[in-house]
Amino acid sequence: MLLPIFFCVLFLLPPIFLTVIISVVCGIAAYELLRATKINNNRSVLVYTIISSVLVPFAVYLSRVTAPVNAAGISLNSFTTLMMITLLFSILFIFLSLLVIEAVLSFKNAKAIKNKTQLKFRHIPIALAAGIFIPYMLSCLISLKTLQYGHLFVLLPIIAAFVTDSGAYFTGVTIGKKKAFPTISPNKTVEGYIGGTIAGTVGMLIYGIILSYTTSLTIIFPALILYGILGAFMTELGDLTFSLIKRKCGIKDYGNLIPGHGGALDRFDSMSFAAPTMYLLVMLVPAIIV
């Protein structure tokens, strides 16, 4: 049921609808990460982090929809770029200031120290990741969506993430023997990673062939091969990174948002790395020419 809704948002509705979905996902993911790292006991930090994570996608959206772009999707308005930097920097500065204030004040609170709810300075990078960096990485989907033919560009990280994950899973199940990182992700194999990379690259090429026959867009296939290889690598790196955090925290899943599939971070771990990778490649090494 969720798949038709997703494609409706992707193809038929304006970017603001995707922004709302990403914002909700970021808010849930922020809560899951703070809960996994035991920072959610500090309610002030939890509120700061969730508010920040929800605002970042809207900041990216506002900066993008006010920016005129050329055929390659490059902004022609330096003022808009400045506005985007200002918006994100403002959120970052306010959020970081609140975290530092909370950390300082919590050490004066005897009750917080006794209940072990005081914010330690080592918690600040985790809160920043949950409230700023992960939302910004996922918001690259919004940046892709706001480009001309954005509904086609936003499929690039989706193909990279889901085709790579599927290829890695089926290859690992069928022929996987050598464990790749047994202490981090026991079920992942070297064969699975190779299979995922091949699947992600082939999937990207198939998508390029489909576009070349169904649209008037110019497709640069050597660039798409690069998209496939780097997209698959970053997808697998994202999965491995969040698996490492789970092992360090001693949990199996980040949440139970989707029964049997875990929480938002379990579903979007790969996407958080694939989306910025595809956005940078679209900007720097165009493979789909409008």
pLDDT tens digits, residue range 226-254?
999 999 999 999 988 888 888 888 888 88
The b-or-e profile of 81-105 (16+ CB within 10 A means b, else e) is: eebbeebbeebbeebbebbeebbee
Alpha helices by DSSP H, listed for 37-73, are 43-65
Structure tokens at 13: 């509705």
Q: Which pLDDT score, from 0 to 100, does residue 96 have?
A: 76
In angstroms, the CA 271 to CA 158 distance is 7
The residues with which 75 forms a beta bridge, in sequence order, are 69
Helical (H) or strand (E) element with 118: none
In angstroms, the CA 129 to CA 37 distance is 12
Map out the domains of the chain as residue ranges: 16-148, 150-290
Longest alpha-carbon distance in the chain: 68
| Cα within 13 Å of Cα(179), Cβ side | 7
In angstroms, the CA 255 to CA 35 distance is 9
Sign of the four-CA dihedral 10, 13, 19, 22: negative
Q: Which pLDDT score, from 0 to 100, does residue 149 have?
A: 87
Structure tokens at 188: 């992942």
Angle between helices 78-106 and 43-65 (to 10 degrees): 180
Residues of the chain with pLDDT under 50: 1, 70-74, 76, 110
Structure tokens at 34: 């703070």
Q: Which pLDDT score, from 0 to 100, does residue 76 have?
A: 47
Sign of the four-CA dihedral 28, 55, 128, 229: positive
pLDDT tens digits, residue range 33-58?
998 888 877 788 888 899 999 999 99
Q: Strands (DSSP E) along the chain, which ranges?
A: 179-181, 185-189, 218-219, 288-289
DSSP 179: E
The residues with which 179 forms a beta bridge, in sequence order, are 189
DSSP letters spanning 216-266 = S-EE-HHHHHHHHHHHHHHHHHHHHHHHHHHHHHT-S-S--SBTTTB-HHH
Q: Which pLDDT score, from 0 to 100, does residue 4 have?
A: 67
Helical (H) or strand (E) element with 111: helix 110-114
Is residue 290 within 8 A of residue 255, CB to CB? The reply is no
